[in-house]
Amino acid sequence: MHTLSISELAEGLRARRFSSRELTQHYLDRIAAHDRALNSYVTITAEQALLQADAADAALAADNAGPLTGIPLAQKDIFCTQGVRTTCGSKMLATFVAPYNATLVDKLQAAAPQGAGMVMLGKANMDEFAMGSSNETSFYGPVKNPWDLERVPGGSSGGSVAAVAAGLAPVATATDTGGSIRQPASLTNLTGIKPTYGRVSRYGMIAFASSLDQAGVVARSAADAAYVLQAMSGFDPRDSTSVDRPVDDYVGALNSPIKGLKIGLPKEYFAEGLDAGSRGLIEAAIKQFESLGASVQEISLPSSPLSVPTYYVVAPAEASSNLARFDGVRYGHRAEGAKTLEELYKRSRGEGFGAEVQRRIMIGTYVLSHGYYDAYYLKAQKVRRLIYEDFKRAFEKVDLVLGPTATGAAFKLGSKTDNPVEMYLNDIYTIAANLAGIPAMSLPCGFVDGLPVGMQLMGNFFDEARMLNVAHQYQQATDFHKQFPQGFK
């Protein structure tokens, strides 16, 4: 059952070939058998999952179900889940049990018609507070890549992608601040989409960098992603950054032909730094798009080389503000034996936050400090506007932008942990989309030495339907996304 698509699972549930309880138990059994090797889950909610599955079966029997009712999923451990630990991969929140659900959780797990009626298998491991590109900063240990257990799955949504890639969940939620959906999807042969900023509610999603964070989904195919993103999207009055705009029919648009589509290739994305094997696979994918009727032209995003330094001013600045609330007083980790309030603050934060989070808080505090705000933060915001303007001009000429997702395939565990700058450069192709607020996704385009490689599509604001349609048409003509890692079949 774990090799079936979401539409096949939904059809099987409606045809009574299997029940949601049987499907859920199948995934729980796979988690028990395989997750010790992967470490993709922080918390398994087996008892709750079976209760949700029973409720889904009752809804299916009463013909009161939606298209996703009864289908299991993994929730990234950054979304608040009522009555279940939400740790954000950190010691700081190791005992935090959320008193409410994130909007996204309600949309996916509440019974139809208010929600999709999906079944939560557990909470997926992640880089601490979503800060990382390898899922090695988690307090709960690194996640392993199912394609090679000695390599990283990418981050920060490493637990989400490892669970889906290994068949320990059919789909998973994820978040993307600078590439944390797309980069790990690329390294694990999955399709991952970050929608337009404001398309999916951030209410109940623990904040890293508020102007950049966006929730999305990782799945085995564009069609699977379309079903779940459809259920996740929509206006939320509880989120001041949520956009009150109708949601397109992502599923209905999947089978539209792409003849006449104009694809832009940014020359800056195909310059020095891109692995030769990855370049060859993307060039082959471009030819496939042309055979499907799309036209291709070179474009320029001249400010894109400034994306990484801009991001690593803006994101840490917002993180230093957002994480100030974790002080050992109201909630979160509290140091024992502190004799003064200052000592309580220092020790609680020093013990609760890992090295990468502390590094980014310190950078953020520095760039926001008196005398440096104008020199760093204000200048970074001006460059961010230039990056947005680049995309605005590009979309006057083309419908979508295509390029690499990552510089190469998955790297070895521990190979970059001592060099933060080298680690940060993993997101060199993905960060610009977050700074501009546009939608972007990664989809599989082949393998280099047995390791998966993804390519990236970027669209204009709220053009998720077109991106998913183009990705689906490519996946109808190729079978890279159907490949499964050895040992997890």
The residues annotated with a catalytic role in the active site are 76, 156, 180
Residue 208 CB contacts under 8 Å (≥ 6 apart), including other chains: 129, 130, 131, 175, 177, 315, 318, 319, 322
What is the distance between the alpha carbons of residues 99 and 36, in angstroms, rounded to a whole number? 29
CA 312, 316, 317, 319 dihedral sign is positive
Q: Radius of gyration of the chain from Cα atoms?
A: 21
Q: Helix crossing, 6-14 with 46-61: angle to 10°?
A: 60
- Cβ atoms 129, 361 nearer than 8 A: no
What is the distance between the alpha carbons of residues 190 and 211, in angstroms, rounded to a whole number? 26
Q: Helix crossing, 222-232 with 464-477: angle to 10°?
A: 160
User: Can you tell me whether residue 47 is helix, strand or coil?
Assistant: helix
Tell me the C-alpha to C-alpha distance, in Å, between residue 307 and each of 179, 300, 432, 459: 12, 14, 6, 17
Nearest to 122 by CA among 154, 176, 167, 86: 86
Residue 321 in tokens: 């503000």
Produce one character per residue of 129-151: b if its CB has 16 or more CB atoms within 10 Å, e if not. bbbbbbbbbbbbebbbbbbbeeb
Nearest to 92 by CA among 62, 129, 42, 58: 129
Name the DSSP letter for residue 325: G
Place of tokens 């996703």: 68
Residue 221 in tokens: 């195919």
**Number of Cα atoms under 13 Å in the Cβ half of residue 316:** 25
Per DSSP bridges, beta strands 400-404 and 171-176 are unpaired
What is the distance between the alpha carbons of residues 215 and 201, in angstroms, rounded to a whole number? 8
**How do the residues of the chain divide into helix, strand and coil, expressed in percent and rounded to 5?**
40, 15, 45
